[in-house]
Each structure stands twice: as C-alpha cells, then as structure tokens.
Structure 1
Amino acid sequence: MKTFRSRQGLTHALFTLVIGFLACTALEQPTFSEEPAVAPLMLPEFPSPQLANLADRLYVILEKQSHYLLGLVKPWNGDPRYKLLTESRSAEHWIRPNTGAVEAFCFLYRFGPYDEKLVGMSRATLLGDIIVPMIRYLTETHVTGSRPTGDGRKWGDAWQSAHWAQMLGRGAWFIWNDLPEDLRSAVRRVVRHEAERIAHSQPPAQLRGDTKAEENAWNAQILSVAWLLMPHDPQADQWMSQFQRWTLSAFLRPADQNTTDEVDGRPVAEQFTGANIFDDFTLENHGFVHPDYMSTFTLSLGCVTDFRMTGRREPQSVLWNVRGIYENLKWFILPDMGFVYPSGQDWTIFRQPAWLSAHVLMFVYGRDGEAWDLATQTVGVIEKMQARSPEGAIYDPSEFFFPSTQTDIAEALARAWLHLHFADPAAIGTYQPRLGAKHLRFGKIFLYRTPRLITAISYGSVIMGTFTPNQRDRLISPDQQSLVGSIKLSGNTRPLPVKLLRAEFSEKKESFQGILHISHGDNVIAEWTINGDASGQVCIAEKLVVQRDCTIQEMATGLIGVLNNQRWIFEQGKREIRLGSVSKTIPAHSSVRWEAPQTDHVGIDHMMEIELFPPRDVLYVGATQPERGRATDRLILNHLSGPRDFHAGDVIAEWSATIRPTPRNAE
C-alpha cells in the first residue's frame, strides 16, 4: 500500500528521485518568475512500515474530519469568491477556526493518498471552491487588507493573531505553486506583518496565575513560517534569531537564571528573559496548575518539522525543559489517554485528541519511546470518538464548547503526519505507567498512583482532592470543590471561601499520608487526614470545628464528582448508585436529587465502594446537562441541611471514609 503520493500523480519512485534532487539544494532559486521563491519542501519517505501504518490511520481520520468541516464552509454574504466556516467576525473564535481549517485543507490538497469519497470532493474542487476563497477572505479582512469582517473590524495585531496567521501561512506554503499570484502576495503581506510585530517585541514572562509559556510558544511559530515564505528576505536572519529567543523564553524556570548550561552556543543564564514555569516543571494558567497548558510546548517544538523539511538544523532552544514537562504529563496520564486534573479543569476533560501532538513530537524529536506507545493509544481513542459521527466529526457537541476545537485537531492531524516522516523507528518503545508518589512541591500537587486508583491532592490556589480509578472509564470528575466541599451560612447564597492553613505529606515505600488544615471563612476549620497504600485503598477523615458562633444553612463536604455522560465512548450513559441498602440506576443528565440519611455504605457503578463511619447523611445530585464539556453528578458524603446554630468550639462533624476501587472495564 502506498503511504505517500503527490497530487500530480507521480510514481512513488520518481517522486523519491525528485525529493533527493531537491535535498541537495538548501533554497530553490526562482526560474520562471521574478517573484522570490519560498523555501522548497523536502519530505523523505516514512522510515518504517510501523510509522507508515500510524500515518495512514492519521490521514484517514483527517479525511473524515475534513468531510465534516467542509460541510460548514459557506460563501461570505453570498459571494462565492470569499468563503469561511464561521460567522464573519474579527476575534479569535471566528478567525482561528478558519485559518486552522485552511492549513488542514491545504495539507490534504498537497499530500497523501487522497480519497475523494472520504473527503467528499476532488482535490481540484477542494482548491478552487474551498481553499482559494477561504484564503482570499482571510487576507482581505486582515489589518493589511482592504475589507473589514462582518463586525466592522479587521483581524490582526491581537494577542493571538500571530498564531492564526502562521496556520494560514504554512498552509499556503504547502500549495504555493498552485495559488494565484495575488493570493501569494497577500499571504506574504499578512505573515510579514505579524512576524515583524513579534520580532520587534520582547518575550513576556509570568510565573503565577497566567503563564506566558503558551503565548511565547505560539508567537514563535510566525517567525518560522515567515522564513518558509520569504527565505531571501532581508529580515530572514532576524526572524530566525528571534525564533530562537522566543522558543527558549517559553519554558524557562527560575533556576535557569543561574544555570551555566549552554543552549545554541550561549549559557542559558545569559539568555534568561524571565520564568514561565516552576522549577518542578509545572506551570499555572487560569489561576491554577494546568496540565493542558503544560502540553503547549508542541506549538514551538512542532516547528522543528519546518526546519527538517527545508534541510536545516533546528535550534536547541525548542527542547529546553520540555522533557521535564513531558515527564510530569506521564504522571497525569490516564488509561483513556486523558489527564488527571489535580487542581480541577475549566476546559473539557475529553481532550484526548489534543494530546496527540505532544506524544508524536516527543517520540520524533525527543526520541522518547514511551511517547510512541502513548501516541498509538491516543489514535485508537480518536478513532473510537470519530466512529460515533456519520459526518466524520471527532468531538461530540456535548464534549466541547471552544469554537476552534474541531479545526485545531484537523490541523494537528496534518502536522502529526508530517512529523512522522522524521522519526527514528529505533526509538519505538512501550509506556510504563507511573506508580508510587510524585510530590510537585512548587506546583503544590501530591500524586499517588497505584494500578487501581490515582489519588491527587492540590493545595495551592485550588484546594481539592480526587480519587480516580486507574481505568478507561475514569468515573471521577475533577470538580474544584472535590473532597473539601463547601459550607454556606444562613442568609448567604455563596459558600464560605476556602483557605489552606497547613499541608504535610509523608511517603513510605508503599503508602502515604497527607494532612490538610483548611479554613472555611473565619467560621470553621476542617482537619483532613488522608492515608493510602499500594493496594489502592484510601482512608479519609474529616473533623469540622467551629471557630466563631454562626448559623450554618448547608454543609456539603466529602464531595465526589461522578461523571455521567450520554455519549462519551468509555461511559454507558448511566450510573448504578447504591446508598445504604438501596440501589438505583441514575441516567445521565437526570437532575435527580436523592437524600439518604444515616448511610454507612456507598457504591458507585460497581467501580468504587465507600464505607462511612459513623453513618452520615448522604446526598446525590444528578447533573441536568453537560457543563464545561462534561456532565458531573455530585455525591456528598457529609451533608447537613440547616439552618443550625453552632458555637465556637463545637465539633460539627467528625467522620471517616474508606474508599476501595473495584475495577470494571468499560470499552
């Protein structure tokens, strides 16, 4: 089976000879036109059948996803010369989906064993009826163009517009010789404008709350794409110099300010522009340690393929600190190929396709054998997700709310196919799931992994704990009130603010203990003790002591978020819940409210058993619909309805729970 064939239909052997000839020349000189040449694209064959097979799977997934996306493309104001797949507006949610789709469509037009039946149109139609009108729309409505978008403004010069422009530019590079000359000039105009803006800016840095790692990594990309389109430009050397600077800046740690290690011929300390990640290779975004943003090294590392396809050596800066970050992600990974979220998740938790790039890039350019295994497993998950949709969409509408979700994965699939051409089959290996304790002291996260259960405790800006079965149906939702729960005073609709007073963790060979003292406002202190061992059993104990007289309207501690989704591939659309001696089937999105007084036993879908001592008033509240891309039922192990008066020194509750996972496969 052929794994690569050119659009023009050259035989595989002839195409290989042409590539070999081009590989001898660093830059193609213009011959038939005075227009400056773009950098020539040189793509070797896949280096092994294993790699070719994985690439074939990626290509088919992209063809199906593109079939879905092409169904969204429409003329702008009825004019078929301009097309887009969103409303016409100038901000991220309306430009980024279109530039991402353009890159994916351009890739399909140029590369691979194109199947008209899967995509839904011929390559010629894809170019003439889709790609050209979309590029025309995007270049005309940029700040360098002549027309505003439908909201009366042009796009560009925005915090993320360099990221959008690099997708447009790289897609155009793929098919450069088949674009009309006016569009080639227009694309160069857009890319130059955004690249010059970044090249003459200083890479920002921020450690707490809102890292600049992602922004610096995405801004670096436009400098790489500018060189691809304009390698003879007087600014080309500066773009490459700034590319090195921005990529290094993205993932600097505080410790790098003093390191003598050299990157690209100079000590890192001399190149230090400020830290964006902690010394334990974690980072904060959206106000807490966020694994999703730890994966954003893919934005800058992905540009290595730009260098390899043009016969150049990439700077060392693209891998600085990346291996340490990726090792952390291996501790967060679950069998469903998603992440444990120790500090909660404000995006959806079903973002497995988004992590494909990290695994592929770390396998190809980090030579990480485990990443190969994780990449192949992730592809299997993506295939299962896509199989639900007759149109070819990977994500179900209930699983996402970010407008670029479906186009981002299309662009990522295209890039992954290209990356794999530069892999070394000798690096192929097997992932070994991490077991034992991992204490990320700067990120203030404690993880304890066993074959049956993963305990995650966050004690930084978000204070919470989760106990997630180590299997494909993860069962547990990372609610940011998990474990700690909430206390509301009479007359208040909002719960008391939670603050950490003390956190201690001790580890032995096959066990751990965590002690957390937490205040609920000035009124109540919660003393938590958490013990776990290698069997996967965890014992939690809470003592709630009143600090000042108050009237409590509701106490809801010992919170466990239970995932209950209708369409997720590893769930059944229902949960079997047992409170005491009573069992019920709780359909997804049920809105049920089930109160069970003086309960000593809880069972969750034959996957988790919880023994309570002494018996507690337990509450189960079913989700009405998905929120933030998932439906979370809420199980409260220690519930009290008020109003109830308490005095300083009163012990509101003192209880414990033993949690035992009971693994069940859910394919």
Structure 2
Amino acid sequence: MHKPSAADWLEPAGIRFGQAEENELTAKCYAMLLRWIPFADSRYEEWERMPECGYFFGGSSWYGVDTARSITVYAALSVLGSYDERIAGCSRERLMRRAISGIRYLAFTHDSGPEHLVRVKGSNPYCSERKWGGQGDSYFMATQTGYSVYSIALASWLLWERLDEETRSLVRNVLFHYADRWCDAEPRDGVYGDTQAEENSWVAQGVAAAADMFPDHPRSGHWRRRFRKWAANSVTVSRDRYRADFQAHTERTHGVPVPFISTSTLHPDYTTENHGFVHPTYLALGINQRASHALFSLMSGTPAEPFALMNNGELYDRVIKKCCQSDGFMIPVQGQDWWYNRQHELAHAHAVLNVLHGNRDAARFERLALKRIGQIQSGNANGCFLEREGKACVIREGTQTVEDFENWAAQDVLHVYLLHAFGGPGVEPSDETEMSERLSGVSLFPYGGFVVRRTRNAFASFSWRNNIMGVCLGKDGIWLTTPVHASMTGTIRIAGHDGMAGWSNEDVVRDAEHASLEPRADGFGATVLIRRGGGELEQDAAFVALPDGRCVYAERLRAIRDCTIDDCRTGIVGVRNDKYPDVPESAEGTRALLLPGMLLTFEGFAGDASDEEQRLPAFPYVNVDDKMGYVLFGSGGIRYINKHRYKRWKGVENTLALNDAGRMSLKAGEARPCFAVVALPNRTMEQTAEAAERSMLLSDPTAPCLLLECGETIVFANFAFDHTAVCGERELAGAEVGLFEGVSRIRGSRISRSLDVEARKSGFAAQRLKLALTPFRYPYGASSDSTDTDYIAHDRAVTDEAALEGLALDVIVRENAVYVMNGGERPVDLRLSDERANVVRSIRVCAASFKELPLPLQAVERGRPPV
C-alpha cells in the first residue's frame, strides 16, 4: 500500500473540469463577467517589489478584498467557459498571468509572508503600507480576512497547474495560517445589534478553504471537524441548541462537554440584526459565505457537509423571499446604510437555494435578479456592475467608495456561474404570477419587530423596533420610493433637549413604546408611542396597510413639557432618482412631482452641486412620477429636497416631506392637530385626485383618535389608553352611502360613524353594504299601508333634499346581522346592496321601528304578477 508522503499532503484535491456544463444561467453570468474584465483590467497595476506581482483597485483596501475577489474572476474565466477575447479586451493568457500576480501580491503581503513586504500606499490609512491577515487586530477584523483567504484558495485551486512552487508554498502558508489560528476558537453568540451569523460564517469559510483544498493534509481532519462547528453555529435559532441529532458531535474540553450548537445568531422568527437593525445584507451572508464549501464540494465531486446548508431553507422561506421585490432584491424594511443595488448578493443566495436546495421560488428570483444586474451593467458604458463613476460615490469618507465593492459584485456573479456550471441549472422556476399571488398576504416578525403585507403589485411594512418607520411601495419597489430611516415617522429636532444623543429619536427613530399590532389576513394596523428629544414631546403614530395596497399613516404630537421644535418634518418618503439607460421604466434620471395645477421636475445626479430645496404650501394631494399618490390631511406644507451631495452613498435618493411643519413652540399639555396621509401605490395623478375626492377625515383633528373614510374602507386609530368609540361625521355625498361594521347614523343630510376600538389600536373596516333611499311601487296584492319587509324598488335612488328632511336613521352592522332603526316620523324605503353575496334587498322600515336582516343578505323569492 502506498504511504502518503509530505508531497501528497501538500497537493490539492482535483477539480472536475470535465463536469462543468454550459446552460442558460451560466451563459448569462459568463457574458456579464466578460463585459466586466475591461473595467477591472483598467484597475490593475504592477507591483515592482517582487517579480510577477500586481494588484487590483488600489491594492490597500480592507482585508485584501480589492485584489482577492478580483483574482477569482480572472482565474475562473482563464480556464472555464467560452472565452471571447473581443469582449474581454485581452487574451486568456493575460487573465491567467494577472490572476497569478494577484495571488502572489496577496501572499507576500499577508502576515505569513516576509515581514518587510507590505501593501502599497493608498487612501485607507489603516491599510496603507501595512500587512493584512489580522495580526494585532481585534477578533472582528482578524477573522474577517476569512473571505479573502477563501478567494485566494479558489483562484489558486483553479490555476494550480500553472503556479510555480514558490507561489504554491506562499498560498499554503496563507491558508494554513488562518485555519490553524482560528479553527479551535469557539463560535460566538449574538443576534441583537450585531449578529454573529456574519462573523461565524466567514470563519467557517476561511477554515473550510484549507480543509477542502488540502484534504490529505495531516490537520485536515481536525480543520474539517472544527469547520462543521463554525458552519453549524453560523445560522442558528435558540431551539437548535436542543436538537438531539447534534448530540453525537458534542466535544469535550478538559473532560467537560462543550455543546455542538452554542449560539443563537437569528431570532426565533429567523430575522437578525446588524448595524443595529434587521439588515438584508447580513441575512444573506450566512447563506452565501458558508456556500463556498458547498461550491468546493461540487467542483471536486465530494459530498458537502450538511452543516454548511443548515437552516438555509427556513431563513429563505420565512424571511428573505417574503421581502423580495420584483428584481430579486430584498427590501430593507428597517432602512439601508449600504448601496441599494445589491442584487448581486441576493442573486448568489437565490442560486444557492435553487441549486443546493431545489427551491423553485429561488430559481425565479435568481433570474429576476440576474436580469436586473445585466440591465444595470449594460447601461454602464465601462462595463462595471455598480456605478459608472464609482469613485465619486463615497460610502465612508477616506476609506470606501462604491468602486471598492465592484469586485464583490463580480465575485457574486462568478459564484452564481460556478454553482450552475458544476451543479447544473437547478429546478424549474416558479411561475412569476403564481408566485406573486402565493406570497401575497401578511407576515409577522415579532422578534425582528416588523410586519409585512404583500400584494402582487405593492408592498407595505411597518417596523416598531430598531428603526421605527412605515414603508409603502408600488410595483417598482425601491426604484421609485425608498425606505429611508424614519420613513413616515419623520425627523423632529427639539431645541435644547436633555435626552441621550443616540436615543433622542430626532433623526433616526430607534425607540418606541406601547407598540400594538393588529394583523389580519389581508392587512394590518400598527400603533406606537415615540418620545422625542428628552421626552419633552410625544408622538402617537399609526400605520395601516389595506388589502388593495394602499396605506394610511397618521400621527398626533403632544407636548409633555414646554418645548421648542426647531424643525419638524414627518410623512417622510425617500424618492429614488438614479439614471440607468437600460432600466428606463424605473430609472430615467428625472422625477416629476405633480400637484394640483403644478408640475415640478427634478434631475437626479450626484456631484459637486448644491442640494435643491422646494418648499410648497399644503396641497390636498400630491403624486410622484404619475406612479405614486398621496392624499394629505392636516399637512403643514410640502418640502422636496433634490440631493446631489451625500455623506454616505446609497443611490441618488431625494427626500419628500409631506408634512413640513417647520419650527413651533408648544406648551405642556398642548397637542397639534392630527396629520394623516393615504399612500396610493401605482396610481396616476388623475387617480390620486379621484381618491382625494373619496377620502374624508371624519373625526375632529384635535381628538385623540382618528376616523378616516377612504372610499370603500374606514381607517381608525385610537391613541388613547382607554377603549373608546371612535367617531366622526360628514355630509352625505351621492345617492348611496357605504355601511361599515359599527354604527352609522343619518340625520338629515349628514352621516356620522362610530366604531368601538380598543385602547392603542388601529386598523380598518371594509365596506359591508351599500344603502340608498328609494321610491317604490307595491308588489301585486299589497296595499299602500303594507308593512311587508320587502317591496319592489325602482332602480334609481333618492337624492333630493325633501327626501332627506327629518330623516333619523341608525344602521348597526355586526358580523352576522344588520339592524336598521327608523327614529323618524314617516316610513323609510331603502335598498341594501351586499356585493359579497351579490344580493340587493329592498325594505320598508316604518316610523319608530326597526328591521333585522341576517348577513350575508339572502335573496327573496317573489311571485310574478299577472299579465
């Protein structure tokens, strides 16, 4: 029997190059990567300190990612796929040489390389002319090099036959250094504020790189055992600690058993937090970073460890896909502090769920994401994936611009390519229409602190934790309006407040009290109390999502102590105004603000120009781009800020404040009148005007409750701490009046509504019936003094004032019955329409009497009068 030698241990596993196949998805990804090469090549520079060395994108970025992620693309395209030199702009041989030069640069400047060799001088002071690898860094920064270690492994593995022995030795040093340093550490626990899903999975990624690439190394077995633990502890909920199937993996330290699962990195509802809020990027990272092991397994033909895929399906089905918009990107329901066009990282996650889990919805979302990535790239003349002028888009002053993340986007597309090349096309994607209908409905995330309501063409969410905000989007998703921090709840700056600076709820609303949620199958109502400043000001806020996609936001401000508000802007909406030539339906680079009798247009761009502010009076309604309408009540004015300078780039994002109340002073106990807005996704300006005609604030604006009639829906909010009847009234308008659950009282030409609402609750009631007064003729055989319940009504309804004079009618609608009480001095003839039952009933209610009818209404058989 052959005894392995040291040379055998140092040779990597083989790649099944012959198993790589071309299919529809690999072709899409490969074409995009080819178009990216000329751009990346323009960011390559030679490094003269050592022979055959070079770097990409400046060579001194965090953790070596600038070059590490780039060389994986160069290495893969130099040995795989149908390479087209005309598109790439260079020979395949040059790709290979530059990939190898990047490997060498990274290996020489790593902590395991010669001490005197450091990275080049750059703009990032922490990385400039320093080594990388984490020596002397904190745990967070030191372990984060795991994804660069993995990238070196992937590029080197693809090109191993072309590497000289010096380069091979350098690569081994990098991989073994990381695996030995971190494999025996214990995974960390944490889900609030800064999830450990990201950290644990990048350690798993780095340790797996050594174990997967060098399976015959003497320590490979130990690395693999420890990788299992890191991977298993990357995406965990608290109940995973008690799973019996993990008992066999329990280890002992000094004779004491150490649980295999020792972490919770996700809340029990499978959400998690980073940067202090539920963040889409960090939900996907736990899937994507562990998937590097599964990709190595596909390429080498070895079984993947199930722990690298653990909980992927639950995380994806319960959270990710329920928040994805029509281009496959996950809507940031608690805001975003990275750039918006991150379809690449979600495309990677979708591909993992498609290829490795057989998820048909993921297969559909993956295709949608790849389509949008291709559209954005084809509109960038230089072939980049993100922003054509990426250096001008600053994410962190002095250390990061959008261009620094180009290689991340490219590597994600590469991962999608490799997953499909070695794992096949995946499963048949869900039908897009069927999937949209199936995903419609309400999803509650009580630990993440938000609720979502989807329809086929609209999305709504409200968050009562971390960032308290309401979001209402149309079919364009965040391409038209965006979930800026403090969406709807707004920014309120109080002069001289004495609260904690980071907890004052002024620019970012982090804290709310008395949160109450009323979820339904077709919508939801949410109510919160926000204390502003040092508690001088209280803001009651309600957000109601209606079944047809509309949303209602309402608020009331009340001073607890004397206070002066320097600036009050609520009803805030982010307006996106990017320009991508191949996304004309969503990103033309101009936005129109339509108001009654007025049209304002704004050009979107980022650059050295002052922001433009347009302050407008309070209009009854406004529309953005003839696509998103807002009907306003109690607004203090409208302000539109067309931004061109950004402290932290997310995209060309403007701000629309629907209630620009400005500066004010309030005495203790004084309350401002209620402000309310009805958001109308996918509505034109004409439709918005029609909605404004049919929307009425019935309640007293100064009352601690709200009743708003929006066409065929009543919206209510009770900000009081007592169960109360929420009331309001209006003039009768038209021949018919809608009836809602609760009490409707008609007195002459006015109708009042009353609905019992629990303390601190908000929600909606759909129209149950329509009522019209009607003249009538008697059925055959009946006399004019007949008291029969049913009669034959004319089709027309009474609208004249004489018919309304003296009218005193109370209608009570309950779940199973309607009661009609006539307190007037003459009979009243009515027509009740029940659209749900497709029944019309005509009744007479005599003076000082009432009728009861079961719901749904039942049709009445009538005899045919003789000819």
Which residue of the partner structure matches residue 470 of structure 1? Answer: 475
Partners of 1:479 and 1:532 lie apart in 2 by 18
Alignment of 1:266-281 (within 5 A): 270-281=259-270
Partners of 1:615 and 1:280 lie apart in 2 by 37
Which residue of the partner structure matches residue 305 of structure 1? Answer: 295
1:156, distance to aligned residue in structure 2 (A): 0.8
Which residue of the partner structure matches residue 315 of structure 1? Answer: 305
Amino acid at match of 1:380: K
**Is residue 634 of structure 1 aligned with residue 655 of structure 2?**
yes
Q: CA separation of 1:441/1:34 partners in 2, compared to 1, >3 Å: closer, same or farther?
A: closer
Q: CA separation of 1:347/1:259 partners in 2, compared to 1, >3 Å: closer, same or farther?
A: same
Which residue of the partner structure matches residue 330 of structure 2? Answer: 339
Amino acid at match of 2:420: L
Which residue of the partner structure matches residue 407 of structure 1? Answer: 407
Contact 2:550 2:679 in 1 (8 A): yes
Amino acid at match of 1:406: E
Which residue of the partner structure matches residue 530 of structure 2? Answer: 518
Alignment of 1:612-623 (within 5 A): 612-623=632-643
Match of residue 595, structure 2, among 571, 574, 579 = 579
TM-score of the superposed pair, with normalisation by structure 2? 0.69
Amino acid at match of 2:300: T
Amino acid at match of 2:309: L
Partners of 1:76 and 1:387 lie apart in 2 by 31
Match of residue 563, structure 2, among 525, 545, 550 = 550
Match of residue 281, structure 2, among 259, 278, 292 = 292
Match of residue 97, structure 1, among 66, 70, 95 = 66
Match of residue 108, structure 1, among 64, 77, 87 = 77
Query: SS state of the match for residue 273, structure 1?
Result: coil
Partners of 2:619 and 2:242 lie apart in 1 by 57
**Is residue 222 of structure 1 aligned with residue 216 of structure 2?**
no
Identity %: 23
1:403, distance to aligned residue in structure 2 (A): 5.1
Which residue of the partner structure matches residue 387 of structure 1? Answer: 378
Structure 2, gaps ≥5 residues long: 121-127, 135-141, 252-256, 396-400, 685-867
Alignment of 1:583-662 (within 5 A): 583-589=599-605, 591-626=611-646, 627-642=648-663, 644-662=664-682
1:45, distance to aligned residue in structure 2 (A): 4.1
Q: CA separation of 1:79/1:458 partners in 2, compared to 1, >3 Å: closer, same or farther?
A: same
Amino acid at match of 1:635: L
Which residue of the partner structure matches residue 41 of structure 1? Answer: 15
Q: CA separation of 1:581/1:650 partners in 2, compared to 1, >3 Å: closer, same or farther?
A: farther
Query: SS state of the match for residue 653, structure 1?
Result: coil
Query: SS state of the match for residue 295, structure 1?
Result: helix
Alignment of 1:424-503 (within 5 A): 427-430=427-430, 431=432, 432-433=435-436, 434-471=439-476, 474-490=479-495, 497=506, 498=509, 499-503=511-515
Between structures 1 and 2, the one with greater helix share: 1
1:218, distance to aligned residue in structure 2 (A): 1.4
Query: SS state of the match for residue 280, structure 1?
Result: coil
Which residue of the partner structure matches residue 419 of structure 2? Answer: 419
Which residue of the partner structure matches residue 688 of structure 2? Answer: none
Aligned length in residues: 630
Larger Rg computed on CA atoms: 2
Contact 2:462 2:543 in 1 (8 A): no
Query: SS state of the match for residue 585, structure 1?
Result: strand
Q: CA separation of 1:628/1:372 partners in 2, compared to 1, >3 Å: closer, same or farther?
A: same
Partners of 2:289 and 2:650 lie apart in 1 by 24
Amino acid at match of 1:428: E
**Is residue 140 of structure 1 aligned with residue 111 of structure 2?**
no
1:226, distance to aligned residue in structure 2 (A): 0.9
1:241, distance to aligned residue in structure 2 (A): 0.7
1:107, distance to aligned residue in structure 2 (A): 0.9
Contact 1:592 1:622 in 2 (8 A): yes
Contact 2:110 2:133 in 1 (8 A): yes
**Is residue 125 of structure 1 aligned with residue 116 of structure 2?**
no
Higher alpha-carbon deviation: 449-458 or 259-268: 259-268
Which residue of the partner structure matches residue 244 of structure 1? Answer: 228
1:152, distance to aligned residue in structure 2 (A): 4.0
CA RMSD, 1 decimal: 2.7
Partners of 1:214 and 1:338 lie apart in 2 by 19
Query: SS state of the match for residue 338, structure 1?
Result: coil
Q: CA separation of 1:538/1:356 partners in 2, compared to 1, >3 Å: closer, same or farther?
A: same
Contact 1:287 1:461 in 2 (8 A): yes
TM-score of the superposed pair, with normalisation by structure 1? 0.89
1:531, distance to aligned residue in structure 2 (A): 2.2
Question: Deviation per CA, 1:106-126, whole angstroms, max 9, x where unpaired?
Answer: 111121111122222222222
Partners of 1:144 and 1:208 lie apart in 2 by 35
Q: CA separation of 1:546/1:284 partners in 2, compared to 1, >3 Å: closer, same or farther?
A: same
Which residue of the partner structure matches residue 26 of structure 2? Answer: 55
Q: CA separation of 1:269/1:572 partners in 2, compared to 1, >3 Å: closer, same or farther?
A: farther
Amino acid at match of 1:412: D
Partners of 1:443 and 1:237 lie apart in 2 by 38
Amino acid at match of 2:311: N
Query: SS state of the match for residue 502, structure 1?
Result: strand
Which residue of the partner structure matches residue 182 of structure 1? Answer: 166
1:466, distance to aligned residue in structure 2 (A): 1.2
Partners of 1:353 and 1:261 lie apart in 2 by 35
